[in-house]
Amino acid sequence: MLKIVSARVIVTCPGRNFVTLKIETSDGLTGVGDATLNGRELSVASYLTDHVIPCLIGRDAHAIEETWQYLYRGAYWRRGPVTMSAIAAVDMALWDIKAKAAGLPLYQLLGGRCRDGAMVYAHANGATIEETIEQAQSYLALGYKAIRLQSGVPGLKSTYGVSKTRLFYEPADAVLPTENVWSSEKYLRSVPDLFKAARNALGWDIHLLHDIHHRLTPIEAGRLGKDLEPYRPFWLEDAVPAENQANFRLIRQHTTTPLAVGEIFNSIWDCKQLIEEQLIDYIRATVVHAGGITHLRRIAALADLYNVRTGCHGATDLSPVCMSAALHFDVSIPNFGIQEYMHHTKETDAVFPHAYTYRGGALHPGEAPGLGVEIDEKLAAQYPYKRAFLPVNRLEDGSMFNW
């Protein structure tokens, strides 16, 4: 039996915080899993160290499904982002080990390739429409086939998706939550202008995406979807908070603009109704926050029955370990849609050497056995954890709103 002999958690901050689980087996094989939950990193680290790792020692490293069930059912409380991120990390590390033991890149164990690479979308953002379009043009020049557009809203000082100082967007930006002020009215007036200008400048041979970040009511989202129909967006993401899945019925009644949701989902139960009632077109759950490759495959299989495709979350707070796992998943499932892709810092790429590469608008998982990613522990130790929070959002009257 290939036994798990040790497991440990590595927390590092090469530009932002990442939590990585490393499992070792009796044969000396090692596997890595991402356990990063933005703004709650140490909670997952503690859950792993204090509650999960003691149960792993001595288990069969090949028994992936059994271990998943053990950690999920055995925890009694079920679900929740902390638990599911911890289970995901174990699951990724065990798939890594199994594929290394077989001497194959992981996608081969998931049924082999359905496609060459995973089409990705880049992030273009700017304080103004002109700045956003300028950035989008630089991605076009790099061969991207899909670009997300986020722009500053006239009359609002700051908002989601628009970075102040950096070229790319980093969501957790301060040691205490940054305050933002929001107006849905101002926002709703600004997005059609952005898309109109973008189609004029960028043409029609590029997919354009947009993230609402949970800020509208269903009827507002229906109106925005309708307003954007002439510009044929690839999707509108997180139009409304999704705790109430039935919210999406109202949006669907009013617009044919495709809908994506799910980056904060952590189990199949969060999207069951959305999928079964065909209320969405893309499911954005990802490996690290939705229970690993094992559980995400289950979600994708359910989605496939209802013409829902995947569009995995891939912001910078998901580590290169998660990105590697996502890419093996993306190329191996029939109903892949698109993969989000934001560059990590140079420091992050150095701490997590990886086999995946960008080519022609797509990411390719590479042919290295396993996930094709490792953690350089010596280098990781040079970047100690730094507390960081996501911002908060208030309405103009001061009351709390959704970030």
Binding partner of residue 24 among Co ion, ligand EZ4, none, CB cut-off 5 to 8 Å per kind: none
Q: Which is nearer to ligand EZ4, 25 or 159 (CB)?
A: 159
- Angstrom distances, CA of residue 83 to CA of 36, 286, 292, 318: 12, 15, 11, 16
Q: What residue has token string 């680290």?
A: 45
Place of tokens 């499932």: 333
By CB under 5 A, which span of 24-32, 90-98, 192-200, 205-213 interacts with Co ion? 205-213
Q: Which of 211, 270, 281, 374 binds Co ion (CB under 5 A)?
A: 211
Rounded Cα distance between 267 and 289, Å, is 8
Q: How far is CA 289 from CA 47, 83, 85, 139, in A?
A: 14, 9, 5, 28
Q: What is the DSSP letter of 338?
A: E
Q: How many residues bind Co ion (CB under 5 A)?
A: 2
* Distance of closest approach, residue 34 Cβ to ligand EZ4, in angstroms: 13
The listed partner (Co ion, ligand EZ4, none) that binds 317, CB under 5 to 8 Å by sort, is ligand EZ4
CB of 341 to Co ion, least distance (A): 13
Shortest spacing between CB 186 and ligand EZ4, in angstroms: 20
The interface partner of residue 85, options being Co ion, ligand EZ4, none and the CB cut-off 5 to 8 Å by kind, is none
Q: What count of other Cβ atoms lies within 10 Å of the Cβ of residue 228?
A: 20
Q: How far is the CB of 143 from ligand EZ4 (least distance, A)?
A: 21
220 binds Co ion (CB under 5 A): no
Tell me: does residue 281 bind Co ion (CB under 5 A): no
Q: What is the dihedral of CA 102, 105, 109, 115, to 10 degrees?
A: -160
Count the helix, strand and coil residues of the chain and give each as a percent rounded to the nearest 5. Answer: 40, 20, 40
Q: Which residues contact 166 (CB under 8 A, 6 or more apart)?
A: none
Closer to Co ion by Cβ: residue 169 or 383: 169
- Say which entry of ligand EZ4, Co ion, none residue 295 contacts (CB below 5 to 8 A, set by partner kind): none
Smallest distance, Co ion to C-beta of residue 89, A: 22
Catalytic residue numbers, as ranges: 160, 213
**Interface region with Co ion, contact rule CB under 5 A, candidates 3-11, 119-127, 137-145, 261-269:** 261-269
